[in-house]
Amino acid sequence: MKVKGFLKDVGGASRVTKARLAAFENASPLPVMDDPIGNVAREWHPGKIDLVVTDVRPAGKTATTVRFERPDGKKLPPFYAGQFMVIDFPMGESLISRPYSISSAPYQARLAEHAFVEITVRRSKGDGFICDYINGSVEVGDRFRGMIGCGQFYYEPLRDAKHVVALAGGVGITPFASMAREIAHGTLDFDLTILYGSVSSDDITLKDELDQLKSDKLHIVHVLSGDEPNWNGERGFLTAELIQKYSADDTTYFICGPQVMYRFLRGELAKLNPPQRRVRFEVFGQAKDITAFEGYPQEVKDKVFNLTVVRGIHEDVIPAKATESLVVALERAGIRIETGCRSGECGFCRTKVLAGDVFICPESDGRRAADRDFGYVHACTAYPVSDVKIKIPIE
């Protein structure tokens, strides 16, 4: 066979080898740390960063807004309006994380000076843990670590309609507060109508701050479920009829609120029958009462099991209540596990079950198919129903 001529053909290997050595010989001897693409990735996603509280203010009668900045006041990571942040709270021996939607706008995280993010947290009716800690104990100057820009609950122009109806219940207003601020600032472009369900007019979270932002692109419709004779706005629940009234021909619905509202709204939206792609729910949150879910083995609900936790070659055995997720058992025992959404979706808490059985909250099973086959669970939505052995990452 012949390509160009015998000698040239057979000399190919040595020719390319010489070319290689020459290229290296002529190259610069100076080390170059030239990874700008990696740098952009790290600017968007630096992981957990140090934050300091610079403001704490009421956001209505039963909620508090907390502002965080970097200790040096520099820019925070970019995020999309509607996303949440995860904050670590040191509680005694434990480090407990919670997700909170960012209620401030993305542009505010990129200000040249005193860039900030805010969360707005509702006080509980007595059963809350971190939320009541925030509504009372957090002060200016406190330091936390947090991860900014998590989750999929944001406007995607390549997917969503230009007309958005947001269905918010209670503190579920927070992601829409961020969107509203960004729209008002002119850096997010769609028409947003927020149907905002609250109980009474004197306790609407973030009401004053939001009402100020109203414009022809931003409508806020307060809907009260309580009995108030002097109220001349919308009343009752967020029914199909009400939703229809504010919808355009092509509308994307964004829904964020308490778990009971999700169940109710699934029914109401079904009546309007929008295309599946036009309906976007924020994640479910941690199940309030796992025993209420279909398939939960009621006979174990009062039990406390042994949870063997493998990290590297190290093993611990800790107690785990049948009604609390593996994540809560670990946090109570002071064993660190990374979490994000705490709703089964993000997979941050991916854990291998080596032995024993768990019940997985059926509303929030966001696992990969192959993971299911090999006994991986998302520990925030997995509840022990026997003694269990798991392997988790070393933190």
Partner 1 sequence: MKFYKDHYDVIVIGGALAGLSAALMLADKGKDVLVLERHNLPGGIATSFVRGGIEIEAALHEMMSIGSRDHRLKVGKFFDDMGVDIDWLKVPEAYHAAIPGLEVTLHPGLETFAREVDAAVPGTYDKVLAVLNLCHTVFDSVNELSIHPMSKPQMLLKHEAFVKTAGYSTQEVLDTFDLPQKALDLLAPYWIYVGTGFRELPFTIFSVLMADYIGYGSYIPRKFSHEMSLKMAERAEAMGVQIEYRQHVDKILVRDGTAYGVRTARGDEIYADYVICSAYPNKVYTSMIEPADAVPVKAIKMVNGRRLSLTAFSVILILDKSAEELGIKDYSVFHGDTMDTNACYDELKGLGPYRYITCICHNLANPDATPEGTCSYSITTLPRVDGWKTVSADEYDRVKHEVAKQLIDYMSEYLGVNLLDHVLECVIETPMTVAHYTGMWNGCIYGYAHTMEDHIVARLQTAEEEHFIDHLEFSGAHQISGDGMGPAVTNGRKAAKNVLDTMAKEAKE
CA gap 212, 117 in Å, rounded:
19
Compare residues 204 and 309 and give the one whose CB is closer to partner 1.
Answer: 309
What are the residues binding ligand FES (CB under 6 A)?
339-349, 378, 380
CB 85 within 8 A of CB 147: yes
CB 67 within 8 A of CB 48: no
CB of residue 382 to ligand FES, shortest distance in Å: 9
Selected binder of partner 1 within 147, 338, 343, 353 (CB under 8 A) = 338
Selected binder of partner 1 within 61, 143, 162, 368 (CB under 8 A) = 368
Name the nearest CA neighbour of 322 among 302, 352, 297: 302
CB of residue 307 to ligand FAD, shortest distance in Å: 14
Selected binder of partner 1 within 9, 50, 55, 241 (CB under 8 A) = 9
The reply on whether position 163 binds partner 1 by CB under 8 A is no
Selected binder of ligand FAD within 69, 268, 331, 338 (CB under 6 A) = 331
Sequence-distant (6+) residues with CB within 8 A of 205 are 59, 60, 62, 63, 120, 122, 170, 171, 173, 174, 198
Sequence-distant (6+) residues with CB within 8 A of 138 are 53, 56, 64, 66
Residue 101 touches which member of ligand FES, partner 1, ligand FAD, none, C-beta under 5-8 Å by kind: ligand FAD
CB of residue 134 to ligand FAD, shortest distance in Å: 7
Selected binder of ligand FAD within 49, 130, 199, 213 (CB under 6 A) = 130
CB 67 within 8 A of CB 55: yes
Selected binder of partner 1 within 208, 298, 299, 369 (CB under 8 A) = 369
The reply on whether position 135 binds ligand FAD by CB under 6 A is no
CB of residue 376 to partner 1, shortest distance in Å: 8
DSSP string of 183-247, one letter each residue: HHTTSS-SEEEEEEEES-TT--TTHHHHHTT-BTTEEEEEEE-S--TT--SEESS--HHHHHHT-
The reply on whether position 311 binds partner 1 by CB under 8 A is yes
For residue 261, the SS3 value is helix
Task: Give the chain's end-to-end CA distance (angstroms, integer).
Answer: 61
Segment 224 to 253, residues that bind ligand FAD, using CB under 6 A:
none
Per CB under 6 A, the segment of 183-191, 216-224, 283-291, 370-378 that binds ligand FAD is 283-291
Residue whose structure tokens are 């709703």 = 343
DSSP string of 86-123, one letter each residue: EEEEEETTEEEEEEEEB-S-HHHHT-SSS--EEEEEE-
Residue 23 touches which member of partner 1, ligand FAD, ligand FES, none, C-beta under 5-8 Å by kind: partner 1
Amino acid letter for position 106: P
Residue 373 touches which member of partner 1, ligand FES, ligand FAD, none, C-beta under 5-8 Å by kind: partner 1
Q: How many residues bind partner 1 (CB under 8 A)?
A: 70
Query: What residue ranges bind ligand FAD (CB under 6 A)?
Result: 84, 94, 96, 98-101, 119-122, 124, 128-131, 151, 171, 174, 282-283, 285-286, 324, 328, 331-332, 341-343
